[in-house]
């Protein structure tokens, strides 16, 4: 995927409340699909991934933009469900399921670089063509490379210092909501924000397959391509 051109916004800027994102996220929440395939004891509706796939395809037919927000929010939810970090899941899962907190990830696997300060890490890099950037704030699932090792995955907050948004002038596909390139410059990362090891794409693959039906644009999460990280 090649992101569209983008224009600069100040550090920690978020999208305007007039952007279509909030209304689309409400539509996704009202569809009930965020809870589809999530165990009831964790706040979900149970059912199976066939129901999620059918619902995602139906949503994409009627509203492609809402389908992209479903893709982002539901994959971030699944990342929490698959995470060994129980404390992180308990802190965020209910807000992700209810839509009180927007959650997202990039369609491309481009890892951030990290510098160890001894008390945490400072992150730099970009995440491309990211959807579901709500004006009230959002959480970002992102790959992170430490010391040339395989990339691990972290969960970052949009409120962190050093994170800026470059609004894309083109969307990934027709009818999609606005996307942006996220630029990180000396963003502080703590160990309690660690989400999962290098196998997260494989853990998310069944849900990515279900959500991918009907999307207008391929992603690195696409089950037809091998989930590899960019150098």
pLDDT digits (tens, 9 = 90+) for 8-63: 333 344 444 334 467 889 999 999 999 999 999 999 998 889 999 999 999 989 88
What pLDDT shows up at residue 8? 38
CA distances for 93 relative to 18, 139, 195, angstroms: 27, 11, 13
Structural domain count, the chain: 1
Of 107, 139, 140, 126, give the one whose Cα is nearest residue 227: 107
Asked whether residue 79 is domain-assigned, the answer is yes
What pLDDT shows up at residue 18? 36
Q: What are phi and psi of 114, to 5 degrees?
A: -130, 140
Where the chain has pLDDT below 70, the residues are 1-21, 169-177, 214, 216-218, 222-231
What pLDDT shows up at residue 221? 83
pTM score: 0.86
Say how many residues make up the chain: 231
Task: DSSP letter for 192, please.
Answer: G
Task: DSSP letter for 46, please.
Answer: B
Asked whether residue 221 is domain-assigned, the answer is no
What pLDDT shows up at residue 77? 98
Asked whether residue 142 is domain-assigned, the answer is yes
CATH number of the domain to which 70 belongs: 2.40.110.10
**Positions of E strands within the chain:** 6-11, 102-105, 112-116, 121-130, 138-145, 152-157, 163-168, 180-189, 194-196
What pLDDT shows up at residue 21? 61
Structural domain containing residue 173 = 6-212
What pLDDT shows up at residue 5? 40
Asked whether residue 217 is domain-assigned, the answer is no
What pLDDT shows up at residue 228? 43
């Amino acid at each position: 995927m090649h992101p569209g051109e983008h224009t600069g916004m100040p550090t920690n800027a978020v999208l305007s409340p007039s952007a279509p994102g909030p209304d689309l996220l409400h539509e996704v929440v009202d569809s009930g699909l965020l809870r589809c395939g999530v165990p009831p004891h964790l706040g979900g509706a149970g059912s199976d991934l066939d129901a999620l796939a059918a619902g995602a395809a139906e949503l994409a037919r009627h509203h492609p933009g809402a389908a992209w927000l479903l893709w982002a929010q539901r994959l971030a939810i699944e990342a929490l469900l698959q995470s060994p970090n129980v404390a992180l899941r308990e802190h965020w899962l209910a807000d992700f399921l209810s839509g009180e907190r927007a959650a997202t990830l990039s369609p491309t696997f481009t890892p951030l670089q990290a510098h160890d300060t001894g008390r945490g890490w400072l992150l730099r890099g970009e995440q491309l063509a990211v959807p579901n950037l709500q004006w009230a704030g959002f959480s970002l699932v992102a790959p992170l490379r430490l010391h040339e090792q395989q990339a691990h995955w972290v969960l970052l907050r949009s409120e962190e210092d050093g994170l800026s948004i470059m609004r894309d002038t083109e969307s990934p596909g027709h009818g999609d909501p606005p996307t942006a390139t996220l630029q990180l410059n000396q963003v502080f990362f703590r160990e309690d924000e660690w989400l999962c090891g290098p196998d997260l794409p494989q853990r998310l693959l069944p849900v990515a397959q279900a959500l991918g039906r009907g999307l207008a644009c391929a992603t690195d999460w696409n089950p037809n391509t091998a989930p590899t990280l960019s150098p």
